[in-house]
Structure 1
Amino acid sequence: MPSTILFDDPKIRIQLLPFTYTRPVAGIRCGIHTLAEKWADRCHTTVSFQTETYLAAKFPEHTSGDNLYINGALCPDEHLTGIVKGLPHGNALVSDKGEILAVRTYDAWKASEGTKSLSVVQYAEPFTMVRNVWDIFGQNGAQIKADYERIVSVRKSVGINDPFTHCYKQEHIFVEEGAVIKASILNAENGPIYIGKNALIQEGSMIQGPFAIGENGVLAQGTKIRPNTTVGPSSKVGGEVSNCVVFGYSNKGHDGYLGNSVLGEWCNLGANTNNSNLKNDHTNVKLHSYATNTLADTGLIFCGLMMGDYSKAGISTMFNTGTVVGVSVNVFGAGFQAKHIPSFSWGGATEGYCEYRFDKAFAVASDTVSRRGVPFGKIEEDIMSAVLQETQSQRS
């Protein structure tokens, strides 16, 4: 069996910032699982990563005498997986747009090398790739369905025993061992619902599928979940949430609206935090591009908040349509916040922003993570430091 390495396409990685500041492209969650988890399951193996140098200590690359490199932005399907796994040595699988989808070699290969010295095989079938941050929520509903079908093909749901919970299309609801659901309404008529291991759905929650909640996730009392939403592992969500992806270990535990948005890991939205996801004139939403340092047209009418890891918002914070918040940001105060808040910023629209002192930012992040019993040390400090240095270079 070849060593399976998920590589970052350099162009796509930049388009997926701020989420790829702190993880490889394949570490992004879309659907029930991360892209890396999907490929590990499809290939029946562990995967490693070819990513930025400063991330390599946490996400190492493992090669051998037989290496299968897969574009980390790809979402696998049955046909594509078969082609990728059967790719001959010395060949590169390339889309009709020239994107490298996979490479099979005896030797080590770098994405920067392109297809030189390789035989090119064209892949003309449709496929799903997460190229932009808005694709994360845009593709989420379809990916929940695909992941769900994969799960139910090999496992059985433990079912729902609570007499006060009402289900529509219960045959499309999958519940893992240890999950607790109390006096809630689950509607899977328009898409499946997946409840992860030891998840807690508290009283009065109303869920419309497609929806997924990961292991140890929590929906607070009275939560309203609209379709195409994922709540990642160990996250707590309350209020009203529509077509959003929460990667994991993040909290939006109180009332407030979040729509067409993506939260990284270790984020916290204070009570009554709200975001706009639709402009009053119904024109396309523009979003900060790290590739051009300008606003990019998403082509979407609905697009909300993109928030990187370790960032927090104070109570009653308001985010406008198409707002991008970087890594380790502490934002608060009245009025709509800036459309782009760079990493390691402290403040708000009214008070103004200053640079978040690194020692303080690291201490807060360390405490946030350590309280959940998750290791956090020198490797994570070095990653945060590298993100700060890159942010400072962009500011200067």
Structure 2
Amino acid sequence: MDNIVLFDDPKSRGNLLPFTFTRPVAEIRIGIFKISEKWQSLLHAKDLGFLTQNYLQSKFPPLAVKALYINGALCPDEDLVNAINELKENEALWHQDTLLAAFFDKPEQFHSDHLPDKKRIDYDPEIKLLSKTWQIFQWNGDEIRKDFNIITKRRVSWGTDDPHTHMYNEPAIFIEKGAKVRASILNATNGPIYIGKNTEVSEGSMIRGPFALCDDSIISMGAKIRENTTVGPGCKVGGEVSNTVFFGYSNKSHDGYIGNSVVGEWCNFGANSVVSNMKNNLMPVKIWDYTKGGFGDTGLQFCGSMVADHTKLGIGTTLNTGTVIGVGSNVFGEGFPRKFVSSFAWGGGAAGFSTFKLMKFEETAQRVMDLKGKEFNENERAILQKVFEVTRPYRIWDKEF
């Protein structure tokens, strides 16, 4: 397959906010890979494009040539890949009322709901179509298992020469070249463990699989990492972590607990930050639903926090069960902040919130990205300025920091 374009499913994108404020749906990391990386690898695509919100297209451009368009919320599996590989140019693959894949000559021809010139092909098996933020951590263990098989196929682990590291079920542990593992316990009894290139697992760490540590990331000394956790590239993570996905370039390097949560890029958790993932009365957790403008029931007993890109938590910050924090917020202060913190909020505690002035936010974002060796360019700036504007109605205060 030469060219593929991953399109935002209109039924999914709003439900995946605040993460889709700053990325197409297919750029969400679940398992070891982003959804886009899964499809590109499995279909051996040479070129990859996106069809998403207009303000995101400068960073995530489409393709102006004939391409196979695939639903960007769709997590691939072997049967689905086979069905898509068999698809002809005059056909469209559907699952009930959801378009899965179809060929188009150019982006202007794309439609996700009405394709009269395409023969309908029904795909009946169960699919994984990402449509809720909490599915990211719910499905993460299974996706790690699938991605592990892809990334390790016909390859041999570099292993570790450290005599003080103990590995359970070593065949299910894959360590890339350049990784350093020291005096740690890696337990892959219940799922695989993937340790990426140029990573570091520091002394005293205890890790249970399924687990993925992506390239250039560090696990701090004495960390306790429970199953179904992904640490994306360029992260520093420590303390106690359970069933949580860090997209990448975020830090939670100190003590403190986080569980059943999703953390975007460029975030920082101050020392002893704690994220609650269960209510004391054991009732299902409700979280903010952007499509409804209010709180909705997840049906889950365990659900921590959804923390969007560029958000920072001060030392000792405590987040209540089911907290949602938007893009570019700086949360600090005593007590629990509200369970929905809008984008570009500054403050917390008894003093409440004011607006994080955009110019000061951009200065911070540039410094943070510089430290990680990434450029805060005009594409990044334009996206965040747009997010600042579209999220303005959620900031119900009138002060600016």
TM-score tier (shorter):
over 0.9
Determine the structure 1 residue equivalent to 2:39: 39
Q: How does 1:290-301 map to 2 (within 5 A)?
A: 290-301=290-301
Shift in Å, 1:321:
0.7
* Structure 2 residue 238 is the aligned partner of structure 1 residue 238: yes
Q: Deviations over 1:231-261 (max 9, x none)?
A: 0001000100000000000000100000000
**Quick check: 1:7–1:111 contact (8 Å CA) kept in 2?**
no
* Structure 2 residue 76 is the aligned partner of structure 1 residue 51: no
Q: How does 1:86-165 map to 2 (within 5 A)?
A: 86-96=86-96, 98-108=97-107, 109-111=109-111, 114-165=114-165
> How far, CA to CA, are the matches of 2:29 and 2:370 in structure 1?
22
Equivalent position amino acid for 1:58 in 2: K
Structure 1 length normalisation: TM-score? 0.97
Equivalent position amino acid for 1:102 in 2: A
- The alignment yields a C-alpha RMSD, in angstroms, of 1.3
Determine the structure 1 residue equivalent to 2:273: 273
Determine the structure 1 residue equivalent to 2:399: none
Bigger drift between 71-80 and 192-201 goes to 71-80
Bigger drift between 274-283 and 103-112 goes to 103-112
Shift in Å, 1:114:
3.7
Determine the structure 1 residue equivalent to 2:248: 248
Shift in Å, 1:378:
1.1
* Structure 2 residue 230 is the aligned partner of structure 1 residue 223: no
**Quick check: 1:187–1:207 contact (8 Å CA) kept in 2?**
yes
**Quick check: 2:99–2:112 contact (8 Å CA) kept in 1?**
no
**How many percent of aligned residue pairs carry the same amino acid?**
47
**Quick check: 2:187–2:207 contact (8 Å CA) kept in 1?**
yes
Unaligned runs of 5+ in 2: 397-401
Please give the secondary structure, in 2, of the residue aligned with 1:151. Answer: helix
> How far, CA to CA, are the matches of 2:99 and 2:300 in structure 1?
26
> How far, CA to CA, are the matches of 2:291 and 2:111 in structure 1?
18
> How far, CA to CA, are the matches of 1:296 and 1:115 in structure 2?
33
Equivalent position amino acid for 1:60 in 2: P
> How far, CA to CA, are the matches of 1:394 and 1:93 in structure 2?
38
Shift in Å, 1:171:
0.8
> How far, CA to CA, are the matches of 1:310 and 1:226 in structure 2?
25
Alignment CA distance shift 1:16-1:114 (3 Å): farther
Bigger drift between 197-206 and 74-83 goes to 74-83
Unaligned runs of 5+ in 1: none
**Quick check: 1:3–1:68 contact (8 Å CA) kept in 2?**
yes
* Structure 2 residue 328 is the aligned partner of structure 1 residue 328: yes
Determine the structure 2 residue equivalent to 1:63: 64
Equivalent position amino acid for 2:174 in 1: F
Please give the secondary structure, in 1, of the residue aligned with 2:388. Answer: helix
Please give the secondary structure, in 1, of the residue aligned with 2:391. Answer: helix
Equivalent position amino acid for 2:59 in 1: K
Q: How many residues align?
A: 394
Structure 2 length normalisation: TM-score? 0.96
**Quick check: 1:9–1:111 contact (8 Å CA) kept in 2?**
no
> How far, CA to CA, are the matches of 1:88 and 1:248 in structure 2?
37
Equivalent position amino acid for 2:99 in 1: I
> How far, CA to CA, are the matches of 2:285 and 2:121 in structure 1?
37
**Quick check: 1:260–1:305 contact (8 Å CA) kept in 2?**
yes
Determine the structure 2 residue equivalent to 1:354: 354
> How far, CA to CA, are the matches of 1:56 and 1:123 in structure 2?
30
Alignment CA distance shift 1:111-1:241 (3 Å): farther
Equivalent position amino acid for 1:217 in 2: S
Please give the secondary structure, in 2, of the residue aligned with 1:350. Answer: helix
Determine the structure 1 residue equivalent to 2:191: 191
**Quick check: 1:324–1:339 contact (8 Å CA) kept in 2?**
yes
* Runs (4+) off by over 2 Å: 105-119, 393-396
